[in-house]
């Protein structure tokens, strides 16, 4: 795999790794079937106004600064929220249910149904109850007959998203920086210091409108285009999933540190100190800033773990 391929892969996968891959599957499925019944009752007409979403025991709330939190304590993933709101604008009736099917699902909705609610500034905009039954999402508006739901032009189960737990909405972004905000990047390989390197934003070069404004002292015959592509690929580096298992966490930390990543950004909230551990052909990260362990995709993360000589022509 070439270095450019690694970086292109990193850029291309920035928006692809988040829990359950359900959202991606919804967006990439082929169109199927026409709509029957009322197509607008369930559709979220103006998602920009929505400030609170309830899926059973999961409560997503938009804060004053525009960030979303799940169940008051978990910072929600911006990309997942964006995808969710887009899908809800396409939510519609797949088909009406025959009387016999209604008789079958009504008791299930009453006993096992979960509430879905959308609020705008504390005002309830829409509300319905749903269940996943025979691989379909069945929903019922108050005082209406139950119907089968779908996302317009796609044939996947929206109920899988409604069923995500609060932890599933946790922010999956590990690194978020770029050439316009990066102040310092250090990639340190403790066992192989010859591969380590650092990038420092050169304020004077930027003020003089030079074409390249990073200091990269370690590299000879530097490929500046490669550096820009690399830094821009760090715009949104994501984890596959977080690790809550204390035994696994302890096991990971007993491994030698493969790489130490340090990032200083103009936005201090993006500052990071990350330890990378390698074990059984799998990469794990420990974010010292947030005290979170996670698993990252090995091939994807290869675009981050470059070596000093990779930037030389």
Mean pLDDT of the chain: 84
Is the same domain home to 165 and 195?
Answer: no
User: Which of the listed residues 144, 169, 194 is the one where a domain comes to its end?
Assistant: 169
Report, as an integer, the average pLDDT of 80-84.
Answer: 91
Is the same domain home to 46 and 11?
Answer: no
- pLDDT tens-digit map of 264-286: 999 998 999 999 999 888 999 99
Is the same domain home to 163 and 209?
Answer: no
How far is it, in rounded angstroms, from Cα 302 to Cα 146?
A: 48
Report, as an integer, the average pLDDT of 157-180.
Answer: 89
Is the same domain home to 156 and 235?
Answer: no
Is the same domain home to 142 and 44?
Answer: yes
Would you call 82 exposed, middle or buried from its count of C-beta atoms within 10 A (0-12, 13-18, 19+)? Answer: middle
pLDDT of residue 156: 73
Is the same domain home to 146 and 215?
Answer: no
* Between 207 and 202, the higher pLDDT residue: 202
Q: Transcribe 159-171 into DSSP letters.
A: HHHHT--GGGGB-
Q: Identify the three-state secondary structure at position 131.
A: strand
User: Which of the listed residues 169, 185, 201 is the one where a domain comes to its end?
Assistant: 169
Report, as an integer, the average pLDDT of 124-130.
Answer: 94
Question: To which residue do tokens 């979403």 refer?
Answer: 53
Q: Identify the three-state secondary structure at position 129.
A: strand
- pLDDT tens-digit map of 55-73: 989 999 999 888 899 999 9
Lowest mean per-residue pLDDT among 9-23, 103-117, 150-164, 242-256: 9-23
Query: How many structural domains compose the chain?
Result: 2
Question: To which residue do tokens 């390249």 refer?
Answer: 212
Residue range(s) defining the domain that contains residue 82: 22-169
How far is it, in rounded angstroms, from Cα 15 to Cα 63?
A: 23
pLDDT of residue 206: 66
pLDDT of residue 190: 96
Is the same domain home to 307 and 177?
Answer: yes
pLDDT of residue 119: 95
Report, as an integer, the average pLDDT of 249-262.
Answer: 95
Report, as an integer, the average pLDDT of 115-119.
Answer: 95
Is the same domain home to 222 and 134?
Answer: no
Is the same domain home to 67 and 190?
Answer: no
Determine the straight-line distance between the first and last CA of the chain, rounded to whole angstroms.
17
Is the same domain home to 75 and 202?
Answer: no
Is the same domain home to 185 and 165?
Answer: no
Sheet of 272-279, strands arranged across: 214-215, 197-201, 182-188, 257-265, 272-279, 282-287, 292-296, 241-243
Residue count of the chain: 313
Residue 228 pLDDT > 60: yes
User: Which of the listed residues 169, 186, 221 is the one where a domain comes to its end?
Assistant: 169
Phi and psi at 266, nearest 5°, equal: -60, -35
pTM above 0.75, yes or no: no
Is the same domain home to 164 and 180?
Answer: no
Token pair for 204: 């004077």
């Amino acid at each position: 795999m070439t270095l450019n391929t690694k970086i292109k892969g990193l850029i291309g996968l920035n928006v692809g790794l988040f829990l359950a891959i359900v959202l991606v599957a919804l967006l990439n499925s082929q169109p199927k079937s026409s709509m029957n019944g009322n197509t607008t009752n369930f559709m979220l007409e103006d998602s920009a106004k929505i400030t609170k979403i309830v899926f059973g025991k999961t409560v997503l709330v938009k804060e004053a600064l525009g960030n979303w939190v799940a169940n008051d304590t978990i910072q929600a993933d911006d990309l997942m929220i964006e995808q969710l709101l887009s899908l809800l604008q396409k939510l519609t009736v797949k088909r009406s249910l025959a009387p016999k099917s209604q008789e079958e699902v009504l008791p299930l909705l009453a006993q096992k149904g979960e509430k879905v609610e959308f609020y705008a500034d504390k005002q309830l905009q829409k509300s319905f109850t749903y269940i996943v039954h025979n691989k379909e999402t069945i929903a019922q508006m108050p005082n209406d007959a139950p119907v089968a739901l779908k996302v317009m032009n796609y044939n996947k189960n929206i109920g899988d998203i409604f069923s995500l737990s609060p932890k599933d909405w946790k922010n999956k972004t590990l690194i978020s920086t770029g050439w316009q905000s990066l102040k310092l990047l250090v990639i340190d390989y403790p066992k192989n210091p010859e591969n380590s390197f650092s990038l420092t934003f050169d304020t004077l070069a930027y003020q003089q409108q030079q074409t390249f404004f990073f200091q990269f002292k370690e590299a000879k015959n530097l490929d500046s285009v490669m550096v820009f592509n690399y830094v821009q690929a760090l715009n949104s580096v994501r984890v596959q999933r977080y690790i809550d298992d204390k035994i696994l966490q302890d096991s990971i930390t007993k491994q030698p540190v493969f790489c130490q990543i340090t990032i200083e950004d103009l936005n201090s909230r993006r500052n990071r100190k990350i330890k990378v551990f390698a074990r059984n052909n799998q990469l794990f990260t420990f974010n010292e800033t947030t005290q979170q362990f996670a698993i990252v995709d090995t091939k994807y993360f290869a675009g981050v773990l470059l070596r000093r000589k990779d930037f030389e022509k």
